Amino acid sequence: MRRKVLPLCAAALAICLCGCSGKDGSSDNSSSQTENTSVTTPAPVIQEEAVKKIEYEIDPSKPVIALTFDDGPNTSATPAVLDRLEKYNVKASFFVIGNNINEKSGAVMKRAHDMGCEINNHSQTHSYMTKMSTEEIKAEIEYTDQLVEKYTGEKTKFFRPPYISVNSELYAAVDMPFINGIGANDWDDSVSVEERAERILEQTKDGVIILLHDADMNIKTVEALDTIIPELQAQGYQFATVSELFEAKGVEISPDDQSLYTIVG
């Protein structure tokens, strides 16, 4: 049994988000699991919690968007995001870093999958991949893909390049569509909950992919979801996985696709 660990570590938060290395995010994750073991209040073990399957049909004739999260999985922000998705009955997609996947975060990832969310690929190490050889690139993708399959039973279908840094060699080496999105600089801890919500809401339109971060301890983004999701639901948007968004917009998924998608269709 392990309590929910939420160390207040703004300095760690500032270096573990998308604008930094996955190595830092990974070490934050492991440190959060080892410190302060003197606290005795137990929390339910994630694996024992019943998973609520989120199921609904997407109507392609109505506005549809994809909510996505980068830089997990972990045992702080990721399960908090999943709790919000359950609360509002919406699906999302997670672009995970292979080096962040361990037994505990893998169980959180499986929960996301079992809820109906999509798990996609954000590399193994979160490095600038345009500086890598084809073999190194393929090894990064394969590492994460195999761990996602180990925990969820499914392979990744889409790729988000770290730092959205791409070149022709990277497109040639990765046989998945490349996904970008509208953002809110939510890797910057100085951006408030309200600013995160406002930036997403003002950019959202039909077909858009929303890019947020469930990096370790990024709780401001979790709190922003309490504005973003209900407001977009009130505006009539349907929340699709990335696969469902492509399907709804009639865009074929091709391994040779050299687009960098922020809007689909």
Q: Could you list the residues that contact Zn ion (CB under 5 A)? A: 18, 70-71
Note whether 210 and 182 are within 8 A (CB): yes
**Minimum distance from CB of 127 to Zn ion (Å)?**
11
**Minimum distance from CB of 215 to Zn ion (Å)?**
8
State how far the Cα of 72 lies from the Cα of 215, in Å rounded to an integer. 5
Note whether 158 and 242 are within 8 A (CB): yes
What is the torsional sign of CA 180, 196, 226, 217?
positive
State how far the Cα of 230 lies from the Cα of 12, in Å rounded to an integer. 30
Of 78 and 238, the one with the shorter C-beta distance to Zn ion is 78
Of 71 and 244, the one with the shorter C-beta distance to Zn ion is 71
Nearest to 246 by CA among 157, 165, 138, 184: 157
Residue nearest to Zn ion (CB): 18
Phi then psi for 94, rounded to 5 degrees? Answer: -120, 125
**Which sequence positions are flagged as catalytic?**
70, 213
**Minimum distance from CB of 56 to Zn ion (Å)?**
28
Note whether 124 and 149 are within 8 A (CB): no
**Minimum distance from CB of 154 to Zn ion (Å)?**
21
